[in-house]
Structure 1
């Protein structure tokens, strides 16, 4: 509603004329259109606002992926047009409207994690948001998510939050799962409601909605991107990551957010800069040895993807999955969140919030359960009930990391592998505890029209290689098809 007056001059014919310049285009193409005078940052921003109003709200096509919009976004975009004339272009991301998962702090809007208890959580910018702004990105708004990053109710659909309601998949409203917990980010990117979005992952929360919505999602090495100012689940496993329509944009987003954060104990201080926007293209799949899982060979899309990679010169090694367990994985999340949420609430949240712990949120929700927790809060209750000594907690973390690394390192050494090929978020748990990065890229659609992603996994700090392999596969196959009702 606050944008209706500003959009009065942005007519349906304006929208139709801009569609071929914007829909499904990558960031370098958008920037070229702007340099050539065919497009402006203001009109790019208004285009997305128009689409959100047209397709995301209350109508027969609504997807409910956007939870809040930055009230200053049009003015900020206009300023980018002025800055461009003054030769102040800083980065590929300059002027690009970006959505943030609503567990990532930004000063223009509340950060709710989808929870009523945090609806008035006014904050400063998270570290990665400040990085984006420093490079000229425009924060368009917040994307809905599975409440508390899907570590809350236990028996609720992915894509649901008490603040944002139920997000729906553009490839099959109310039929195909959105994936979670970065559900709104995945749906909004796929539906061309923004240039790109930022998600977060503890175990599969970027990979799942990215593959379910036919986009590219990167779960980076933990510590490559700062977690400061992000509502946590687990300081051991959490990481933000870019979600985009193509690999090029993913690389640009990753590079724009990267930077050492002294306030994040896992932050990595690299000796080299990450010029991802071009350098990743030097890494092809030719001659690379990929482990494929025999159990997945019944999936025809996976088999086809493997054949496509072979045509590009990849060497495929079929392997059986290592028989290792991930004991007490849930307890790791319980014990971390019990500690980490109070730290966020005291250091990064609005000082006026009445909740200071998981127990406080539970009690808050009991006052109006239908509106705050219609599916219950079983996982939060499990957090409060769980206790461990420091020694027990360290043992849980060490066992999980050891087993996760065994899952990948054993076949890597036996077969001299460069990486692994999986589907969607099937091996996200092992990648999470091993702290291995992963990227998923569209590989087609099943017989019911549900998108599927080919997921590359490799060793820590192999983002350049992962992006290069994903780009090589993407360019050879071009499997992404935009959702047909939203063109």
Structure 2
């Protein structure tokens, strides 16, 4: 009997020691000296790629995964490889089909993405700094979705993990805008759009990194950098290609298959830019089609959220869930329903497009135009009107100086010691190397902004009129859309309140992704999605980044 007891306790201690070793092996990210990397990047011909910092000085990556220790330890590489063909690069509808067949559960889908993030983000040769926080409740929610699947499923997003840009309120996580000042900003409620996603059964997997304060903080600083999240890196060329921004983490995470899809936000180019740089589909909708309630603002006149995914179909499914009237958003309207059914049968036959002359010499554009014509569409070439939007920055300054304090007052918890932009500027000054290594020129300028509301309204009206005239060819030539590249014409689309859809067009000789962008009049998202789905079929060029296959 004593021998049996001895063996029993020996076995318990042995198992405990193994578990302890395994737990220690899980927590393996160790910050490293990046001096040599920074020195190499200092020679880059593109100023914005001359990084002064890559790793976050504020966050420990290991903390992201600590709520999932037990589950990650029990999730083997063998299981990951089994699930890969069922999840990796699969569309929402394909994943749902695999769930219906009993090949995978929503819990396993979440674990697959958590394991994938852990695997790549804790390796100094592959990390992308795409993640800023993970939802500690997501696995419990996934289990609940599995239990209720047969009686509750009413939308393709049911049980699907989605990542959210970290300027959008999503409980129980902080909403930081990437700023050290907002590190502990637990919002009072979910944003309107997150509520919409949850109503459809979607799972909020976590928050993604971004250009700090949606790239309205520092001047000429690297896209994708934030004090909290560090420098987001492009999966198609780490430290070689820009990530685009400000929805940098959204584009990077979707490209690297860290989730099925993500939500970004745009004032001017912040969805279209990272979509193009990371070879994903991105829709910048008409202002007001998706509520901005619970989103840290730059400009109430121009801000919008939008879906980012690996296909037009997935983008449409997300958009279908996101649209909805919100009485608390002054620009909100009752949008027409977005249909994803039937996108697999649409064509470009009989469509009419305009192309800016300045883009026709681009080799990837030439290929796309040939394909579009062969598909039965008409294309006219025209010279872009010479229009300067001289007061664009002034408009954003005035809006943000007014809108950000409103967000702080209405959405943030009462523990934050900030009431104004000046308070945030002073906080950053306490340790500028830590909080603002690239400076905070935009914020310091905002503090001094002063203009009457009458002058502001007049300026905004004039600029919106100018922006619409930039696209006057759409009406005069009865076009369905104008063709652009990436975010090149985003400023005009933003001010005109025109939606824009970016779709992978191919890769340059050096491997850098590039998108074709279709721009249409206000409230024509369905037309854009139809065009995009048809274009995607005739030019299916998107490839998974080599490191992340």
CA distance in 2 between partners of 1:167 and 1:218 (Å): 21
- How many Å apart are 1:383 and its aligned residue? 1.2
Residue equivalent to 1:350? 413
1:446 aligns to 2:511 (yes or no): no
Retained in 1: the 8 A contact 2:338–2:526?
no
Retained in 2: the 8 A contact 1:147–1:160?
yes
TM-score by length of 1: 0.98
Q: Where in structure 2 are the equivalents of 1:92-107 lying within 5 Å?
A: 92-107=156-171
Q: Which of 168, 178, 184 does residue 249 from structure 2 map onto?
A: 184
User: Which secondary structure does the structure 2 equivalent of 1:461 belong to?
Assistant: coil
Moved over 6 A (4+): none
Residue equivalent to 1:222? 287
CA distance in 2 between partners of 1:350 and 1:115 (Å): 16
Q: Which of 147, 150, 154 does residue 212 from structure 2 map onto?
A: 147
**Aligned-residue CA RMSD (Å):** 1.0
CA distance in 2 between partners of 1:290 and 1:98 (Å): 33
CA distance in 2 between partners of 1:248 and 1:56 (Å): 28
1:88 aligns to 2:169 (yes or no): no
- How many Å apart are 1:275 and its aligned residue? 4.2
Larger displacement relative to structure 2 (50-59 or 143-152): 50-59
Equivalenced residues, count: 483
Deviations 1:317-352 (A, max 9, x none): 000001111120000000000000001000111121
CA distance in 1 between partners of 2:345 and 2:468 (Å): 27
1:333 aligns to 2:402 (yes or no): no
- How many Å apart are 1:239 and its aligned residue? 0.0
Residue equivalent to 1:113? 177
- How many Å apart are 1:221 and its aligned residue? 0.4
CA distance in 1 between partners of 2:406 and 2:339 (Å): 32
1:160 aligns to 2:225 (yes or no): yes
Retained in 1: the 8 A contact 2:264–2:271?
yes
Residue equivalent to 2:126? 61
Retained in 2: the 8 A contact 1:57–1:64?
no
Retained in 2: the 8 A contact 1:293–1:320?
yes
> Aligned in 2, Cα 1:281/1:405: closer, same or farther, shift over 3 Å?
farther
Larger displacement relative to structure 2 (290-299 or 143-152): 290-299
Q: Which of 356, 372, 376 does residue 313 from structure 1 map onto?
A: 376
1:250 aligns to 2:308 (yes or no): no
Q: Which of 428, 433, 458 does residue 395 from structure 1 map onto?
A: 458
Q: Which of 79, 96, 99 does residue 34 from structure 1 map onto?
A: 99
- How many Å apart are 1:282 and its aligned residue? 6.3
- How many Å apart are 1:283 and its aligned residue? 5.1
Q: Which of 211, 215, 230 does residue 276 from structure 2 map onto?
A: 211
Retained in 2: the 8 A contact 1:65–1:187?
yes
Deviations 1:378-411 (A, max 9, x none): 01111112211112111210111000000002x1
Residue equivalent to 1:406? 469
User: Which secondary structure does the structure 2 equivalent of 1:361 belong to?
Assistant: helix
Retained in 2: the 8 A contact 1:283–1:465?
no
Deviations 1:297-330 (A, max 9, x none): 1210011111111111110000000111112000
Residue equivalent to 1:472? 534
Retained in 2: the 8 A contact 1:279–1:464?
no
CA distance in 2 between partners of 1:327 and 1:199 (Å): 27
* Structure 2 residues not aligned, in runs of 5+: 1-65
Retained in 2: the 8 A contact 1:125–1:229?
yes
Retained in 2: the 8 A contact 1:442–1:452?
yes
Deviations 1:138-180 (A, max 9, x none): 0000000000000001131000000000010000000000000
User: Which secondary structure does the structure 1 equivalent of 2:341 belong to?
Assistant: helix
Q: Where in structure 2 are the equivalents of 1:366-405 lying within 5 Å?
A: 366-405=429-468
| Structure whose CA Rg is larger | 2
CA distance in 1 between partners of 2:492 and 2:176 (Å): 29
CA distance in 1 between partners of 2:374 and 2:412 (Å): 51
TM-score by length of 2: 0.87
Residue equivalent to 2:348? 285
CA distance in 2 between partners of 1:418 and 1:101 (Å): 31
Retained in 1: the 8 A contact 2:272–2:502?
yes
CA distance in 2 between partners of 1:480 and 1:242 (Å): 17
